[in-house]
Every structure is written in C-alpha cells, then in structure tokens.
Amino acid sequence: MEFPHLGKHCSEKTCNRLGFILDFLPMKCDACEETFCKDHVRYELHECQSSYKKDIQVPVCPLCNQPVPWKRGEAPDIAVGDHIDRDCQSDPAKQKRKVFGNQCTMKGCKKKEVVPVICDQCRMNFCLRHRHVIDHSCKGNNPADKAREAALARASSTTSNFFTKRAGTSKPNTSSSTSTTRTSQPRAFAAATVQGNLSEDEALARALQASLQDQPPLTAQQQEEADRMLALALSRGEQPPIRPTTDATPSSSSHNCRLS
C-alpha cells in the first residue's frame, strides 16, 4: 500500500525518481529552498542558482597567508587592508607600520600618515583629512575657556597683591601711631611749660604761631587768593582777619601795649 502524501519527488529534472517513485526522505536545499533527494541535494549536483548566498569564503592575507575575519556584507579588501595595517606579522607589513606610524587621533579614524600633522591649538596628531580645526572639532581654542582662565589669573593676582599691600602697610601704621603718641606727649608738655603764668590770650597766640609753623607754606596761587580776599575786605571797610605770620614773634600783651 502506497502513501503518496508522505513522500515528495526530487526537483532535479534528470532524476529517475521524478514522477515514478516517491522519496520518503526528501531534503530541502537551504539556498534555493527546493526539495531534492540524497543524490542531488548538494549545490553542484543540482546546479543551484542561489549557491552564492551560502558560498562564504574567508579572505586570505597575501603577505602572511593567514585567514582574515570579516563581516558579512563587507568588502574583503577592506578587511585585508586593516589586517595588514594592524595585525599582519610579515616583514613588509611591519616595515610599513614603522613608516606610517602617525595615526590620526580623531575618534573612528584609523588612517596613518608618513609625517606628523600636529594641530596648533590642541597639539594633537591628525591625518590630512582631519588636520583643520573645524574637521576635528578642536577644543583647544575655546574663547570661553580662555576667558575663564584669564579671569581666574587676574583674580588670583589681585588677591595676592591686596594681601601683600595690606601686610606691608599694617606695620608702618603701627609705628606711625606710636610716633604720633610719642610726639603728642612732648607737645602737650611743651604747651604746659610755655603757658606757665601766661594768660589764655598769650597761650592762644603761641598755639596759633606753632600751628602756622607746622603748616606747609602757601603756594603762589593760594597767596594771590589770600591777597585778593584781603583787598576786597579793605575796600568794603571791614576789618581784615588777623593772620599771624611766621616772622612775628609772640610777646606778652603788657609789653606791646602803648598809650598815644
């Protein structure tokens, strides 16, 4: 008893089992997805038109004769070129790596140059394609970074100068205050000594004389202004202010008083 639904016929036209005998152990080709018997299941036996999809060959390095792994869909030449540039142990490949030793530092770029191409801003090595500042997104000439560094430098220098000046001026202030205290005491003692039995008017005259001696001399412009004010007061009939001079010598009112 036959079971026609259990078996399948071979898809090869030259097969003797085609149309006559069913094959109960049919096999499906993984390339063309057709059914064949055990005698025609191989690609070359049934001349499969889709065998190139499964005919995967690993490229071999022409220098070291080693198989080179590569990705599906990638050109074999690219994989072999990368192998020669990095992993090949043959003498020509090693010599080439010594000559082309300046690898580009751009992320994702594996190109090497004979001569180094250094960026003036970031001081990194690049290939001829990425040698320009815009091409490798150079961050060495960032205006914001430069401005921040300059501001920090100015702030640090200003702070150091401020503390230096403050430390330098604090000591002279102490000495000046000490000298002022020391000089004020002799002046007070001298005033008490000079006053002695003198009246208040005589003591005031002596104090004015001492203050005028301590004051710096008037400039020509200040002297001219004082003379003008004195002339204006005289023209109005007012009594000019008494301004003791440095040449006048203080004396008691009893000796200067004369009756006409």
| pLDDT tens for the 260 residues of the chain, in order | 455 566 677 888 777 654 556 666 778 888 888 888 888 888 888 888 888 777 777 888 888 888 888 887 778 888 888 888 777 888 777 776 666 668 888 888 878 887 888 888 888 888 888 888 888 888 775 566 666 677 777 777 776 665 565 555 554 444 444 444 454 545 554 555 555 666 777 777 777 777 666 666 667 777 788 778 877 777 776 555 555 444 444 444 445 555 54
pLDDT at 213: 65
How many domains does the chain contain in total?
2
Last residue of a domain, one of 55, 72, 95: 55
Give dist(CA 173, CA 211) in Å, integer.
24
For residue 21, tell me if it sits in a domain: yes
Instruction: Report which residue type is found at 85.
Output: D
CB atoms within 10 A of CB 94: 11
In this structure, is residue 142 part of a structural domain?
Answer: yes
Residue 40 falls inside a structural domain? yes
Report the alpha-carbon distance of residue 64 to residue 83 in Å, rounded: 10
pLDDT at 260: 46
Q: What is the pLDDT of residue 159?
A: 65
Within-domain flag for 41: yes
Tell me the residue range of the domain where 23 lies: 1-55
Q: Does residue 148 sit within a domain? A: yes
- Whether 171 maps to a domain, the answer reads no
The closest alpha carbon to 12, from 42, 43, 36, 33, belongs to: 36
Q: What is the DSSP letter of 69?
A: -
Asked if the structure places residue 3 within a domain, the reply is yes
CA distance 167 to 198: 48
d(CA 124, CA 168): 46
pTM of structure: 0.27
Strands 27-28 and 112-113: unpaired
| Domain membership flag for residue 122 | yes
Single residue among 164, 194, 221 that ends a domain in this structure: 164
